[in-house]
Amino acid sequence: MWLQHRWYDKRLHPLLYLLTPLSLLFWLLTNVRRSLYWLRVLPSYRAGIPVIVVGNISVGGTGKTPMTLALVKFLREEGFNPGIVSRGYGANTKYPHDVQPNESAKVVGDEPLMLRKKSDCPVVISPKRGAAIKELRRLHSKVDIIVSDDGLQHYAMKRDIELILIDAERGVGNGWLLPCGPLREGPWRLKGAEWVVSLYAQHPFARYVCKVESKDWYRVKDDKQVEKPTQQCYAVAGIGNPHRFFHSLRQQQLDLADCIEFADHHEFSADDFAKLGDKPVLMTEKDAAKCRDFAASNWYYQPIETRLPDDFTASLAKRLRKFKD
């Protein structure tokens, strides 16, 4: 995780200069690949119904999952029947796979399971988004618009709208492409883009700002709502930006014994908590999905919810009306 922390230094760390040839190679390969799709040398798949991609130009957490949930809710309010496709990171199943709400995060991945449970709309996972879309349309014929959770760089999937998320605090980090920096594509990708959205606060590249609200507390073991913890707790996170979660807990004036950081999509086991004793443990909703089978009765999670601003929904509603005409 040392490397990920250095990505967000203001200047390139001296040791990362050793990786600059790899970043240049990454730039070359991604540009060639993108050009081949643009020139139609490589085939791309069109769904036949509108596709909205929720993605980012950097690795790590920018809030794609809560944004996807907020978007699906808004689409329903506009009269659409949305479906979701996702890569299914961390899944262990045959692709494409139609996610069911009673499945395990070990089988379908933590994010797809959370999307399926909270959105109550179809979710199909596959590294090949075109295959996921075909399966989604085959199994769920009433779906008339698709939201792709991530997939901005998946140019084999044609899209009608790109919602590009950017972290208001971390921005583009040191501005370098992988592996010297956190970027999958350069900042140029944001310039002129119509739907650049930052969460929590304004970012210079963003046209819209979405607020994110922390909700009530729930017990990991059985999803029962509980009161805000008052004892001293451990905070645990295995997400793209754990420091945001820890900062949120401190803002709520929770008494934290320690904040323990794991890699994004970490596959939790009971051994990870063996040294924490009997103190309560606080975690994100995404991590809770992977800990439910062995959770103690004093482990809790707090969902978050993205609020779409009025100017964003008005502009998006106007664009969506064109799909119905």
As annotated, the binding site includes: 58-65
* Burial of 200 per CB tally in 10 Å (0-12, 13-18, 19+): middle
Nearest in space to 66 (alpha carbons), one of 307, 264, 324: 307
Segments of 1-111 assigned E as strands? 51-56, 82-86, 97-98
Judge contact between 165 and 192, C-beta under 8 A: no
Which tokens hold the place of 289?
A: 């999905």
Nearest in space to 192 (alpha carbons), one of 176, 207, 213: 207
Measured in whole angstroms, the distance separating CA 132 from the mean position of its chain's CA atoms is 18
- Taking CA atoms, 226 is separated from 153, 246, 276, 283, in Å, by 40, 20, 21, 14
- Taking CA atoms, 78 is separated from 68, 71, 119, 313, in Å, by 15, 11, 15, 10
Judge contact between 320 and 226, C-beta under 8 A: no
Q: Which residues are annotated as a binding site for ATP?
A: 58-65
DSSP label of 170: T
**Paired sense of beta strands 217-219 and 299-302, if any:** antiparallel
Judge contact between 136 and 122, C-beta under 8 A: yes
